[in-house]
C-alpha cells in the first residue's frame, strides 16, 4: 500500500518543518512542502497530492487567494484542502463557511493531535 501524499503550504519554516515531522511520523503521510502560494500551486499541479494543508496568512499570495486559484484550475480543483489559521475559531467558522474546504485547523495546534485532525477532516 502506498502512503498518501499531502502538500503543506506555509511561509513559516518552523511551522512547515513541525507539520512535516508530525504528519510523516504520526500520520504515515509522504509530505511535500511549499513556502508560498505560487510554489504551492505549481507543486499541487505537478505532484497531484491527496490533500493540501494551506496556511491562510502568507505574504504575497494569501491562503484564500491560493485556494481560489486551486479551485479555478481543472487539474487541482478536486484536491481536498484544509486551512491552517491563527485567527480565532468563531471568526473562522463565519469567514470560511461559504468556501468548500474540508476543514480548518487553528494555530497553535497540538503537534501530537495534528495527524488525527487531518485524517478526521479528510474522512
Cell 478526521 identifies what position?
A: 120
Task: Enumerate residues 6+ apart whose C-beta is below 8 A from 66.
Answer: 9, 37, 40, 41, 54, 58
pLDDT band at 87; cut points 50, 70, 90: low
Cell of 15: 511551522
List, in order of start, the domains of the chain with CATH numbers. 5-122 (3.40.50.2300)
Closest CA to 9 of 48, 52, 42: 52
Mean pLDDT across 23-28:
95
Closest CA to 51 of 73, 34, 68, 76: 76
When comparing pLDDT for 27 and 98, which is higher? 27
Please check the confidence at residue 91 and state whether its pLDDT lies above 60.
no
Give the tens place of pLDDT for each residue, 36-63.
999 999 999 999 999 999 999 999 999 9
Give the tens place of pLDDT for each residue, 92-110.
555 666 688 999 898 899 9
Given a contact cutoff of 8 angstroms between Cβ atoms, the answer to whether 117 and 83 are in contact is no
Q: Where are the alpha helices (DSSP H) in 2-101?
A: 13-27, 37-47, 63-72, 89-96
Amino acid at each position: 500500500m502506498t502512503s498518501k501524499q499531502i502538500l503543506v503550504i506555509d511561509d513559516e519554516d518552523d511551522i512547515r518543518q513541525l507539520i512535516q515531522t508530525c504528519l510523516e511520523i504520526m500520520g504515515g503521510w509522504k509530505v511535500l512542502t511549499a513556502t508560498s502560494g505560487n510554489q504551492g500551486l505549481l507543486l499541487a499541479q505537478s505532484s497531484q497530492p491527496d490533500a493540501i494543508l494551506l496556511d491562510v496568512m502568507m505574504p504575497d499570495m494569501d491562503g484564500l487567494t491560493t485556494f481560489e486559484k486551486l479551485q479555478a484550475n481543472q487539474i487541482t480543483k478536486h484536491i481536498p484542502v484544509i486551512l491552517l489559521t491563527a485567527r480565532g475559531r468563531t471568526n473562522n467558522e463565519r469567514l470560511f463557511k461559504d468556501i468548500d474546504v474540508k476543514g480548518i485547523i487553528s494555530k497553535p495546534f497540538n503537534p501530537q493531535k495534528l495527524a488525527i485532525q487531518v485524517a478526521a477532516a479528510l474522512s
